[in-house]
């Protein structure tokens, strides 16, 4: 079970990664190829060549977490895109890790994607985002 706060962004590597890389090697990919700061607390997702393994790199204030999952059967879905990294939302990450094909899934028009709170004086109103 992976629980991420709403403030965390998730970036996935579109291309395969050499899975002999550990903390430092994956940190170098985030810094050099993604142009991101791995110490930001965001989640970085990497797949091996056969796409039957995934690694997640996360910083948590005083050190890196490296989560590793190996599938016994099947492969993880390929992510479409042209850049080296793709930003995906937390729900899509959960579906991807559970083996759900996210290309055929969709979010309904009336489902709430984010909530913004407007405060006007003493009165607080909650609005559902698009």
Query: Per-residue pLDDT for 40 more than 90?
Result: yes
pLDDT in tens, 82-121: 888 999 988 889 888 988 877 776 666 666 555 555 555 5
Question: What confidence category does residue 21 fall into, taking pLDDT thresholds of 50, 70 and 90?
Answer: very high
pLDDT in tens, 3-19: 888 889 999 999 999 99
The reply to whether the predicted model has a pTM over 0.95 is no
Question: What confidence category does residue 54 fall into, taking pLDDT thresholds of 50, 70 and 90?
Answer: very high
Query: Per-residue pLDDT for 125 more than 50?
Result: no
Alpha-carbon distances of 104 from 3, 75, 98, rounded to whole Å? 24, 16, 14
9, 87 Cβ separation under 8 angstroms: yes
């Amino acid at each position: 079970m992976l629980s991420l706060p709403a403030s965390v962004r998730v970036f996935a590597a579109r291309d395969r990664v050499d899975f002999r890389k550990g903390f430092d090697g994956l940190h170098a990919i985030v810094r050099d190829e993604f142009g991101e700061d791995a110490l930001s607390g965001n989640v970085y997702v990497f797949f091996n060549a056969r796409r039957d393994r995934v690694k997640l790199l996360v910083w948590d204030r005083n050190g890196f977490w490296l989560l590793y999952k190996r599938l016994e059967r099947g492969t993880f879905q390929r992510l479409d895109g042209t850049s080296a990294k793709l930003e995906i939302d937390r729900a899509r990450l959960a579906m991807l890790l559970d083996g759900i094909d996210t290309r055929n899934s969709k979010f309904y028009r009336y489902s709430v994607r984010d909530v913004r709170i407007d405060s006007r004086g003493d009165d607080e109103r909650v609005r559902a985002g698009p």
